[in-house]
Structure 1
Amino acid sequence: MDSSTDYNHTIHATSAYAVGMALGVLILIMAILIGACFCSSCVQEPAPSYPITNRGSSIASQGSVVIDIGLNEANLASYYKLLYSQAKLEHKDNDSQPFCCSICLGDYKDNDMLRLLPDCGHVFHLKCVDCWLRQHSTCPLCRKSLAPTPPPESSR
């Protein structure tokens, strides 16, 4: 054999090796993608078959699960509102008076409208806490429940 034949054989072997490697990598990538598609469809949880309502209890008497998702507008409107300038005047002897909103961390200004939460007495910017309470039924600071308690069921 002459040297040109050996050279051509080396070029064909190298290119065949490169094509084989490229095909192997492509098949590996496709296998990973197909496996990921099957795994993600297995992991997805089915939609709940029970009704979800906006109440404060965790289990209803008829076997449906009730999820607490926050307070309604009527409950929010029942909580006391005040200007920060009023709160400063009423509590000027109290050194522990808050000076910033624990939700947005913004300092209170004299003309800011605040909402006072019942029971715990924490105050927040009206817009901040109303947004929070539409999604949660607890105080954002102490997590005390603000959900209205349902009337007691009469024993039969």
Structure 2
Amino acid sequence: MSASLDSDSGFVDSKEVSRFGYAIGVSAIILLIIVVTALASYVCSKAFQSPQAPPSNSDMIDPESFFVDDGGGLDEETIKSYPKLTYSEAKLLKKGSTDTCCSICLNDYKGSDSLRMLPNCGHLFHLECVDHWLRLQSTCPVCRTSLIPTPLSMPPADDHVAPLPSRPGD
């Protein structure tokens, strides 16, 4: 678009101004249509989504669905040796604790939930969640403290040291 100047007044020709105004008007209408369509699409998508209820214990995530077995877990006997208690017992036992949900499945504890306490760190988890975890991993899911049982310390050696046999020729 080349604007022609009126030599007498120094203004742009009115025909050129009207074409420019027309282009701006059409662009504004197209932009308005795009914005309205996007807004309507957003509102409609929110209207058709069903509201979600908070998960209950029966909706707990199946622990087997999110673990990969790498063969580094604990045996069943060791897992069963860790303390088992209900959440109401755990609240009494750990009065200052802020544990209110399982760090594995993220569901809140309820008074009658069966929990297992890990011995080295004292962290609590749903029984089903942590048992499955410990079959696959040998560490606490929260602090990664090793739960592998250590062998009993060796009894002290006698102070008596047996002499080594000497080689012939020495």
TM norm structure 1? 0.50
Name the aligned partner's letter for residue 125 of structure 1.
Answer: H
Q: Show CA shifts across 1:18-65 (max 9, x none).
A: xxxxxxxxxxxxxxxxxxxxxxxxxxxxxxxxxxxxxxxxxxxxxxxx
**Structure 2 stretches lacking a partner, 5+ long:** 1-69, 158-170
How many Å apart are 1:87 and its aligned residue?
A: 1.2
Q: CA deviation at 1:91?
A: 3.2
Residue 68 of structure 1 contacts residue 137 of structure 1 at CA under 8 Å; is this kept in 2? no
1:70 corresponds to which of 73, 77, 89: 73
Compute the displacement of 1:90 (Å): 2.9
The residue type equivalent to 1:124 in the other structure is F
In structure 2, the partner of 1:80 is 83
Question: Runs of 5+ in structure 1 lacking a partner?
Answer: 1-66
- Kindly state the Cα deviation for residue 153 of structure 1 after the two structures are TM-superposed: 7.7
What's the counterpart of residue 27 of structure 2? none
Partner of residue 92 from structure 2, selected from 89, 94, 104 = 89
Number of aligned positions between the proteins: 87
Letter in 2 for 1:88: K
Aligned to 2:103: 102
SS at 1:128's partner residue? helix
Query: Could you tell me how far 1:137 is from its partner in structure 2?
Result: 0.3
**Residues 46-61 of structure 1: pairs in structure 2 closer than 5 A:** none
Q: 1:148 aligns to what?
A: 149
TM-score normalised according to structure 2 size: 0.47
RMSD between superposed Cα atoms in Å: 2.3
Which residue identity does 1:69 align to in structure 2?
G
